[in-house]
Amino acid sequence: MPPNRQTALRRPQAERRVPRLAALPRPVLARVEALAPGAWSAPHSHPWGQLSYAIEGVLQVETADGCFLAPPERAVWVPAALAHSIHNIGPAQMRSLYVQAGTPGLPTQCQVLEIPPLLRELVLAVCALPEHYDEAGPEGRLVAVTLDQLAQARPAALDLPLPTDARLRRLCSALQADPANTRTWAQWGEAVGLSERSLVRLFQAQTGLAPGAWRRRLRLLLALGPLAAGTKVAAVAAECGYASPSAFITAFSAEFGLTPTQMFAAP
């Protein structure tokens, strides 16, 4: 891939400041941000959950366990106390909800969530509330409905789990740096000190994905940033190593359940 292009799973340059709060003033605190291309926050945690939602652009959340990507109409849920960093690929419009720890029904693990139209409008409405909204009045009821809908949001398979084994971590780092690398798994095993059979077995056990499936998902996740920026499918397909746009679209649809056009359609 061209070295000057910012893509998902690569470290951007402009640091984003994380607000320092002793406690949330209300059960939910909204934050609205317009992010410049490549903005990122250093690894941090906080004693409340966070919904990071992109209404434009692609957000990426990184934890020790993997990478979680949210194109428009998806969001990443980060549970309380989990160390994470966030960055965006290209310019992005981010809407965050900080949610009091222990709120019933919300996920206990980091995951990407689908944001249906109703929940989208609720999140935008909550983001328009004052910081000290009236908990006992209509504003509080709006927040309660939003949390109910958030608890029902469906997960989306837009994450890339990472193994814990140091040898496999080196392999994954190399593939992230050069996703078009065509080494066989036997060659990768030799490079990191594992037999091919041991590599495949350990990779599957630690990530839940076979190495080939992991590499395919990596390549397709790397495509999200350029697609969101309006790059033509044919160009993205070629950079991801696909012989034709149709082959790329078929793989994309099989992985995510949507074509690129459907995923990035205006709400």
d(CA 242, CA 222): 13
Which of 87, 121, 156 delimits the end of a domain? Answer: 156
Q: Give this prediction's pTM.
A: 0.85
If asked whether residues 220 and 119 sit together in one domain, one would say no
Does pLDDT of 92 surpass 90?
no
Residue-range definition of the domain harbouring residue 224: 163-263
If asked whether residues 23 and 45 sit together in one domain, one would say yes
d(CA 183, CA 175): 10
Does pLDDT of 7 surpass 60?
no
If asked whether residues 28 and 151 sit together in one domain, one would say yes
Our count of domains for the chain comes to 2
Task: Retrieve residue 44's tokens.
Answer: 């941090």
If asked whether residues 134 and 174 sit together in one domain, one would say no
DSSP for residue 150: H
d(CA 153, CA 120): 11
Over residues 101-135, the pLDDT tens digits come to: 999 999 999 999 999 999 999 999 999 999 999 99
Picking from 226, 231, 225, 221, the residue whose alpha carbon sits closest to that of residue 252 is 221
Picking from 123, 104, 115, the residue whose alpha carbon sits closest to that of residue 154 is 115
Amino acid letter, residue 211: P
Asked, for residue 89, whether it belongs to a domain, the answer is yes
Give the SS3 label for residue 246: helix
If asked whether residues 190 and 222 sit together in one domain, one would say yes
Determine what percent of the chain falls in helix, strand and coil, rounding each to the nearest 5: 35, 25, 40
* 14-15 vs 39-40, strand pairing mode: parallel
Contact status, residue 71 vs residue 263, Cβ threshold 8 Å = yes
Does pLDDT of 267 surpass 70?
no
Angle at CA 56, nearest 5°, toward 51 and 61?
40
Count of H-run helices and E-run strands, the chain: 10, 10
Picking from 164, 160, 169, the residue whose alpha carbon sits closest to that of residue 60 is 160
If asked whether residues 115 and 191 sit together in one domain, one would say no
Asked, for residue 5, whether it belongs to a domain, the answer is no
d(CA 107, CA 75): 13
If asked whether residues 92 and 183 sit together in one domain, one would say no
Over residues 202-245, the pLDDT tens digits come to: 999 999 999 999 999 999 998 998 898 889 999 999 888 888 99
